[in-house]
Amino acid sequence: MTAPADLPRLLPLTPQYRERVWGGQRFESTSGTPIGEAWIAYGESVVSSGPAQGQTLDALGIGGPQGFPLLIKLLDCADWLSVQVHPNDAQAETMVGPGMRGKTEAWHILEAAPGAEILAGVNEGTTPEQLAEAIRSGDVLEVAERHAVSAGDTVFIPAGTLHALGPGLLLYEVQQSSDTTYRVYDWDRPASSGRALHLEESVAVTRAELRGDMRPASQTHGEGTLTSSEYFVLQGLHLGSDGTGRTVTKGEGFQIVTVTTGQVVLTTRDERLTLNTFETALVTASAHDYTVQATGDAASVLISGQPAEL
């Protein structure tokens, strides 16, 4: 096995697809069922080429003894996702098990159909008692706050925020490495073991004062720091068609680069890797800086990492 100290600086990752009842048709499906999620970087991501080909990030020890800390996805939403909430770290330890992480996340909207909406938080003035009653009675939509969204918007969703994604959205999601979800309401879909509701857990962790942090595209223009938290930082970078590269100087940890439009070349002092739209690579700790350059047309990338590493 390749030791972390001997790793290449650029590790291309293979996406792993998840079928979802609310998924769309943007991602290929061998079974014909809708694909809702492409997991593009997480502990079980497999390196697609190079000396570490076939190995996972956790097996390579990149995330340390506690495992890789982030989970990054692309989501194709053709229908409403369930209305849901996630626990914080302390709640996850108590409610799920020792060593379990909570789930704070952020979304960056890549495409949005006209009229696309999300739910994030509850209406101002809703008391914790009113929220608990709405969750238990199945009337949570009466207190959930709706937001119109457009391509380029970024939404930060701390643990404890009631939320749901609506139809007509393609987005990038970065989150803590946790898949703990408490489902509050599922749009009257047939109940199943895989889509059960978690009403009492939702009452325990949902906070009425949280609404998420909405950063419209008109504010960020998709450049610079789009959102940050104690768990991750998300940055955007636009690259012109003139072939001028942008140098990214990073800290001591890893970064994850995903192309959202166009084609780019990543270059370190002795490695070079081409990425197409929706392809992802991890830049390892040994690369203290690297260059991102569009090939041909203009391109855009999103870069995620932990706060001390960006």
Residues annotated as catalytic (active site), given as ranges:
183
| Cα 208 to the center of its chain, rounded Å | 23
Q: How far apart are CA 153 and CA 218, in angstroms?
A: 8
Q: How far apart are CA 36 and CA 194, in angstroms?
A: 15
Q: What does residue 129 show for φ and ψ, rounded to 5 degrees?
A: -70, -40
Residues 6+ apart with CB under 8 A from 58: 43, 44, 67, 68
Question: Cα–Cα distances in Å, from 119 out to 80, 141, 157, 185?
Answer: 10, 9, 11, 12
Question: Cα–Cα distances in Å, from 91 out to 100, 104, 107, 182?
Answer: 9, 12, 22, 12
Q: How far apart are CA 297 and CA 278, in angstroms?
A: 15
